[in-house]
Structure formats: C-alpha cells, structure tokens
Structure 1
Amino acid sequence: MFFTMVSSIKSFFNLNSIQQKHSLLKSLVLLGLVLFMLYTLLFSHHYQPPNLLAIHKQKRPVSRSVTNSPTNLSDIMFGIVGSVKTWKHKRSYVESWWRPNVTRGYVFLDREPSQEFLPWSSNSPPFRVNRNITKSKLYPKIVNPIQIRIVHTILETFREGDKDVKWYVMADDDTVLFIDNLVEVLAKYDHTKYFYIGENSECIRSNSDFSFDMAFGGAGYALSYALMEVLATKLDGCIERYPHLHSSDFILHACLADLGVALTHEKGFHQIDLRGDISGLLSAHNSDRPLVSLHHIDIIDPIFSSKNRSESVTHLMKAYKLDHSRLLQQTICYHRPSNWSFSISWGYSTHIYETIFPQSFLQKPLETFRPWMKYAKPPFYIFNTRGISNNPCETPHEFFFDSMEISSEDQIVTTYVRISPRQRNRSRCFSTGNHSADSITRIQVFSPAATPKKVSPNPNSNSLLLV
C-alpha cells in the first residue's frame, strides 16, 4: 500500500514537469519570433556603426553661422593669448594687424590690466580675463597651469557667444597675422565640416618632441565652427584626461586626435622656431603659399636690421597693405649680359648673385639663422637650406625694402636699398667674368597693380631697374 502511494506521487510530479517544459518551450518559440521581427525591422537597411561626430552634428541646432556665402574677414573670430606683464611690449605686434570695428575677437589676459593700460585702447582687441583655474579640483594634478590657461582660451572664446562665426583663429600676442591672406586660405575649406588648420615647427627637434601633425599655436591655427561646437563639449574632459601634458598645443592635438580629427597643413603659418637673423628664410619664401603669420617676433632679430622690432613690423606692413597676396613671394630672374642672378622677395628684399644659379639653388633659404634649441643635433630643419659660403659667387649683395609708390602706368614700384657692402666676402666672382655688383645701391621692382579680382598674382610678372 505504501509502495503504491509513492508510485502515484512520482507519476504526478513527472507529469507536472513535462507540462512545465512544454510551457517553457512555447515561451521560447514566441520570444524567438518577436526577436526575429525586431531584427527584420531594425536591420533591413544596411546598418552602420554610429559616428559620434556625425550624431553630434545631426543633433546640434542650425547656427546662423552656417551659410553658403564666401568666407570674409567678418566670419573669423580671433582669440589672442596675452599677459599683462608683457602686453606693454607686445601690443604693437597685435595692433599692427588688428582693424578696429572690422576684425572680431578678444585678447585674453592672465589678470585684470593695470592702470597704465586703462582706459583700454580702441586700437587693441577688447580684453577678457581668463577663468581662474586654481580653485578647480583638477588643479593639483596639472603639471603646467599656464598651458591649461592657454588651451582654455579656446573654450572661453567660443563661450563669448558671438554670432555668424565660421572660423575661430587662435594665436599669441607676439604673432603678426596677415589677415587678408588668412581669409583666402580659409575660403578654400568648408566651415560646416571638421577642420583643424595650421602648421608645424620649422625645427625637427620641436616636432619630434611633440608631433609632426600638431599645429603650433604661436604660428596660429584655425578651427571650423562645426569642430568648435564639438570641442566645446569635450575640451574640459580632455584637460582632465591629460593633466600631465606640458604644452597647450599638444593637449589640443591629443583631444582632436581622440575625436578623429587630423591636422590640415597650411605652410603659410610660420612658427619661427629659429634664432637670430631670419632674413635668409624670408628672402626665399615659396611663391605658392601666401604669408599667413610670423611668430616669435620678440625673440628673433629685427627683420630689418636698420629698425627695431616694432618698426620692422610696421615697415613690412606698408608693402602688405598695398598688395597682400604678393608679400614675400619669391621671384627669380637673370641678367645674362652680366651673368647675374636675382632673387626677389617682394616687399622685403632683393639679392644679386654675380653668377648664374639655377632656381633649385636659389629657392633654398640661406642659413642666416640658428636652430631653436641650442644643443640640437643635425639635421635641424624640416626644409633644405644652403649654408653661408666663403665663395664670393655664392655670397649675395643684399638690398632691403625701403619705399613704394604707384606709378602713372598703374604699376607698383617697390624700392630696395643696400644697407651695407657685402660683409662676409668682398672679393669678386671671377668664374663667369668680371661683372661686379658693388656699384649698385638701389633696385626698383615694377609690378602690375593688384586688382580686387586678383587672388595670387604671377610673381614672374615683376620687372627690375638697377640704380
């Protein structure tokens, strides 16, 4: 009797287990059908992984700055990094290119300006004072707070909220910008896309210490409006991620690399990580790139030896204002009867060589300058140079920009004068005949007058008159 009861109980539980399994199987089948329908609905079109930048672009509101009109100066917002301690000496560099009531932007100072600068000059950009970061939780971890202030200027410029901006251009207060050429460069790019535009250093060591694909901020760099919107939401996070980095430029580069944005190289931005006399570099500026900027004006020698640094910048700007796109463009020509070669850097210098040299030789900058770092080992530069030679045939007679005028034939006449006799080697070049240029004291260059439609005039259209 007891055995019969146990057998009945076992049969009951076995039956119940079978029913539960059947019910579970039905549930799994129904769940599978639901998942299949969802898969068909969501993935019937070719599914692609999400692009974070693209999603941000779709979500962001349409800004009034997103227009199809050609880029002009009013579309650019400048953020200049300055310091109250050095503003007295550097303001002339900024004021040389700043156009009151035309250019837009701010100079960001490390503290409130002292009384000597008040009232603030209308010839300077309006000033702002950078946010105090010493009270932030991250501050004790930051290895170089000054660099964080500099990189944060990007964010603070954007947060000023100016309308109708296509480009944000950042630079230092010892940088001279050639803003009309800058407009022409930026006009080639679409500000509604993600662009990070600038150039690296002239010195190999500087680039190897950071990156060959990093824009050096002293030379200046440009960020498109679309990229700036994304960066404004990410930059603080990047600073928290990279508090150990010593350079503001490298922090920005690292942040943009994390976003998948690479540097677009534009060779007209000049960091000038050089020492001493850079006349050799300026006298061989490539004719296929407009001059956009010159940095480290306070460190290099005055670019005109007969003037101080501020006067030199003002003097160069005279030529720039008359024909901005031609400034520093190199032209090479020859006077066959005398076996002379001429190298003209329009608005800056003219060189005479007492023999015929190919263009490939004259296009190499004469190494009048020194590397940025005292103990750097060769090779020093990212471009080819030619050294100072004791050969009189390779030693140029140098003439520097003196004055200009518009002739009655509607030509621009620039005059270049000899500052001093050749110092390094006064002997003559006899390899191609006795044709000394010692008696030449002045050179005039005749160029077609620029027109509003002219973007990049042919530098070879220049003609010479020797006096």
Structure 2
Amino acid sequence: MKTTTIMTSSSPHRPPITVTTALRSSLPFLFFSSLLLYLLYSSKLLIYPPSNHQYNPKINYQHPNLTTTNRIITGYNTELKHIAFCIAASSKLWDSRKEYIKLWWRPGETRGTVWLDNKVKIKNNESETLPDIQISQKTSRLPYTNRQGHRSAIRISRIVSEALRLGLEGVRWFVMGDDDTVFVVENVVRVLNKYNHNQFYYIGSSSESHFQNIFLSYSMAYGGAGFAISYPLVKELAKMQDRCIKRYPGLYGSDDRMQACMSELNVPLTKEPGFHQTDVYGNILGLLSGHPVTPFVSLHHFDVIDPIFPGMTRVESVKHLLESAKYDSASVSQQSICYDPKRKWSILVSWGFAVQIMRGILSPRELEIPSHTFINWYKVLDFSAYTFNTRPVTGHDPCQTPFVFYINSTRYDESRRMTVGVYGVHRQRHPRCRWKMESPEKIHTVVVLKHEDPDRWLRAPRKDCCRVLPSRKEGVMYLWVGHCGENEVIEV
C-alpha cells in the first residue's frame, strides 16, 4: 500500500506521520466510538420507536366566506393584521388606479397606507374603501442622475421607512406594491407565514423578461410585483437608507435602489415566484394557466395587459378573478392536467380562471409550459427573452389550438360539499382541422368540482389531479379536481 507523508504543523522537529500509521493508531478508537454510538442509537429507538403515522391533511368543507374560508396555520402564526401594506401611488393616475386598490383592500382587516406625491380629492363614499393616504416627504436633497428614469423613484424607495415611522403596532411585515398591483391577501399571509419575522428577510420575485433582469438585476425584488420586508430589517434599513440612496444616484428605479441598500445590509433576495411583475403585453392566458406550483400572490401592470377575461373591463376582470379566490384562495390559478382518452383530448385546468381543451394527446411535460399568448416587454426579443420556457399556442399542429373556457361563476354546493366552478366557452375562430376525431367545439360548458383546500401549501408542492366525469348533458363536460390518490399517475 502506498503511503503519503504529511508534515505536522505543531512542531517542525516532530517526525513525519504517514497516513497508514495514523489510520492504524486510530482504528481502536474509531471502533469503540462507532460501537458506543450504535448502542446509544439503539437505546433511543427502544424508548422512542419510529412513528408509522402518515400525515392526513385536514380539508375544510364549510361554506366559504371572507372571514373563515382562508384560515392559515403555520409555525409563526402570522395573520393579516400583522402586515402593513405600503402602496406607491401617483396623484396623476390616482383616479383610475384607485379602482384596483378597492378590489383587494378589506376595510377593517387590511392595514397600510397609500403614499402619494401630492394631495388628491377623496369622495365621501370612498374613504371607507381605501387605505389611509399619506404624502411622501420631499426628496430634492437626494441626487438622481438617470436620464431615462424619473426622480420619483427616490420618493417611492423611501415609503417603507416612512411607514415604519408611523408607529403601527403589532406589525411583523411591510409589503410594498404599486397602485396597479392587485394582491390575493390570503396568499400574502400564506407565503410570509413560512418565514420567521424576527429575522432579516427581503422577499419577492424577478421579472418575466430576461433582459429586464439583465439591465436591472436578477437579485432584485420588483416593486410592481410587490415585495415583503420583515420588521427588524426595515428598522435597520431606515437608519441608513438616505445615506445609501446618495451612493446610487444613477440607478433607474425605486426597487433597484432598495436592492442596493439590501446588499449593503448583506441581505439577499428570498425568491417567491407567486409575486408577478407581469412584464409582458397582451393576453396573459398562457402565463396564468401555466402558473408555477406556488401561491398566487400578486399581479401587476393591468394598464398594459389585456383584460384577463374577454368582454370585460380591466377592473371588472380582476374583480371576477378575485370572486373565485373567495372560495379557495390557496388554489386560484393552480394547474391540473387530465385526458379524455375516448375522444383523445388533452385538458388543462387553471382553477378559478380557465379550462383549455385540445385535440390530441400532449404530454404533461408540454402542457405545464406556459403557452405563448403574450408579447415580451422588449417586443423585438419576443421569442428569446423570457425567464421561463414557452410553447406555441397551436402545439405541434393548428388542430391543437385550444378551445378556451373562462370561469363564469363559482359557488359552494351544500349537497356535494364541494365548490362548483362553471366555465363558459370563449367563441373564437379556429383553424380548419381534418383530423378524424371529435371536435371540442361541441362543448359549450365545463363544470369543475373541487373541495376547498386551504392547507395545500402546508404539504409538499404538488399539482392537483384531474379526472373526467360522466355527463348526461349534451355539450357539458364535468371534471373533478383534487388530491391525487395513491399511485395516481397522469398517463393515457
């Protein structure tokens, strides 16, 4: 056996020790140490035998409503009352943007402030449906040299520190967002419950545009999507933020200034992909129906994207989506995949939003990829500049263009003790298809049955399974969506 000579560092006069000699001298010690550990471990097993109990998630089958349906249980017991929202707003856009805030704000439950650059008029009947309004402090003493941006970025970057000085009691988290950001507040709570609010946390997500992230930073939480900062971190930030801002006059926006200060505090971004910057244009059907397996937290840029539901205004469409969230906020926009093997159809369910039926069998690996229904923030780079994979809307053949069914209504069925979602077909032209198989155009309504599942994010992330149910009504398809059974696999 070849030996390697190692010089000890304790004394240059001590003779060299070989690896084989060292090993031989330590063998008795290693043997008796291993024996002792084994005996201790065996005795522990005798006292505390391994449990065969299998976790059985509790599902709430009660009738959903705003106060009880979204109970959230985690080790940190953070509730909505522990979160202060900091909304960056502009007086010029206030009349239109305030309508988005009204959709998700819950008077008496949500806490926080809208921060404006100038005073605005509030109608008497609006004061109870909106957060408190504050005017940001002047920032003329702080330098701004970026020619492409606007110095309001400095004002917006300081609103979290200004919110801290309001002295709100019991706050654990400050959540920042824009006036055109819509939050699913139960899912904000679910995400923040995963983290210890006594530690330094900076939580958010990146842009959907690869080049946005290159120009700004992949390590930055985008302010339009919204991001969360724990209370002790905001306290530290407030002490140094103005000094930090002075060191970065050339940065573009408020969120990259915030990330620069976080870097100086040695705090990295903790990514939560449920915060959506929505740096795209057009129809976001593909983006929402390809939602990652994570809580749907926020959505931004409603003035840029098309209305989520055809035939509605932007405000109406957001309100319509949030109606589904009342029944199962933990599952909104979550993806399920199933097949109708007799008719050779592939079915993609985005719960509370849309159902898509396609001719032919597309693998789950293909279907879970967002379909390219939208346009990139940099239109010239549309097909090459996303932070995720995309697939063509038509699949491998024009015959696979999906038939889309948008949510019409959601209700709770007492007899079934299930939530019932009714999805109506979106009439549009489809390419001529010569495939000799039944066409989904015969279906005008899809009914999706589902149990409410507020605790789904306390388990390991997994998509719900989907099954096609028998139907006696012509033109109506029934689907069941829920926990996958034992050994249940998506295969045809």
The Cα shift of 1:204 comes to 0.5
Q: Does 1:445 align with 2:448?
A: yes
Conserved 8 A contact 2:181-2:225: yes
Which of 96, 100, 114 is the aligned partner of 2:103?
96
Structure 2 partner of 1:48: none
The Cα shift of 1:394 comes to 2.3
Question: Counterparts of 1:248 and 1:223 in 2: how far apart (Å)?
Answer: 15
Structure 2 partner of 1:367: 372
Give a deviation string over 1:226-285, Cα, whole Å, max 9, x none: 111110101111111112212111111111111111000101000000001111111121
Unaligned runs of 5+ in 1: 1-67
* TM-score normalised to structure 1 length: 0.80
Give a deviation string over 1:272-326, Cα, whole Å, max 9, x none: 000011111111212x211000000111000001111000011001100111011
Question: Counterparts of 2:144 and 2:172 in 1: how far apart (Å)?
Answer: 36
The Cα shift of 1:80 comes to 0.2
Higher helix share: 1
1:438–1:377 CA distance, 2 compared to 1 (3 A): closer
Which of 358, 364, 372 is the aligned partner of 2:363?
358
- Higher mean alpha-carbon deviation, 380-389 vs 176-185, is at 380-389
Question: Counterparts of 1:326 and 1:166 in 2: how far apart (Å)?
Answer: 25
User: What pairs with 1:247-266 in structure 2 (closer than 5 Å)?
Assistant: 247-266=253-272
Question: Counterparts of 2:334 and 2:144 in 1: how far apart (Å)?
Answer: 49
- Higher mean alpha-carbon deviation, 399-408 vs 202-211, is at 399-408
Question: Counterparts of 1:291 and 1:279 in 2: how far apart (Å)?
Answer: 15
Conserved 8 A contact 1:403-1:414: yes
Which of 166, 181, 186 is the aligned partner of 2:187?
181
Conserved 8 A contact 2:399-2:432: no
The Cα shift of 1:349 comes to 0.4
1:275–1:71 CA distance, 2 compared to 1 (3 A): same
Q: Does 1:323 align with 2:319?
A: no
The Cα shift of 1:449 comes to 3.4
Conserved 8 A contact 1:351-1:397: yes
Structure 1 residue identity aligned to 2:400: E
Question: Which has the higher Rg, Structure 1 or Structure 2?
Answer: 1
Conserved 8 A contact 2:336-2:464: yes
Conserved 8 A contact 2:337-2:466: no
Question: Counterparts of 2:138 and 2:125 in 1: how far apart (Å)?
Answer: 23
Question: Counterparts of 2:159 and 2:110 in 1: how far apart (Å)?
Answer: 18
Q: Structure with the greater relative contact order (CA < 8 A, sep ≥ 6): 1 or 2?
A: 2
Unaligned runs of 5+ in 2: 1-74, 477-492
Question: Counterparts of 2:402 and 2:144 in 1: how far apart (Å)?
Answer: 55
Structure 2 partner of 1:130: 136
Conserved 8 A contact 2:334-2:463: no
User: What pairs with 1:333-352 in structure 2 (closer than 5 Å)?
Assistant: 333-352=338-357
The Cα shift of 1:84 comes to 1.7
Give a deviation string over 1:179-215, Cα, whole Å, max 9, x none: 1011111101111111110000000010000111111
Conserved 8 A contact 2:338-2:466: no
The Cα shift of 1:463 comes to 5.5
Structure 2 partner of 1:80: 87
SS at match of 1:285: coil
Question: Counterparts of 1:359 and 1:133 in 2: how far apart (Å)?
Answer: 52
Aligned residue pairs, count: 392
Structure 2 residue identity aligned to 1:449: E
The Cα shift of 1:71 comes to 0.8
Conserved 8 A contact 1:98-1:124: yes
Q: Does 1:278 align with 2:284?
A: yes
Q: Does 1:230 align with 2:236?
A: yes
1:167–1:290 CA distance, 2 compared to 1 (3 A): same
Structure 1 residue identity aligned to 2:385: F
Which of 384, 390, 393 is the aligned partner of 2:389?
384
Conserved 8 A contact 2:289-2:335: yes
Question: Counterparts of 1:182 and 1:368 in 2: how far apart (Å)?
Answer: 27
Question: Counterparts of 2:335 and 2:456 in 1: how far apart (Å)?
Answer: 21
State the superposition RMSD in angstroms: 2.1
Which of 155, 161, 179 is the aligned partner of 2:161?
155
Conserved 8 A contact 1:445-1:462: no
Conserved 8 A contact 2:224-2:277: yes
Conserved 8 A contact 1:81-1:107: yes
The Cα shift of 1:416 comes to 0.6
Which of 296, 303, 308 is the aligned partner of 2:313?
308
Percentage of identical aligned residues = 38
Question: Counterparts of 1:342 and 1:273 in 2: how far apart (Å)?
Answer: 27
The Cα shift of 1:419 comes to 1.9
- Higher mean alpha-carbon deviation, 389-398 vs 353-362, is at 389-398
1:123–1:462 CA distance, 2 compared to 1 (3 A): farther
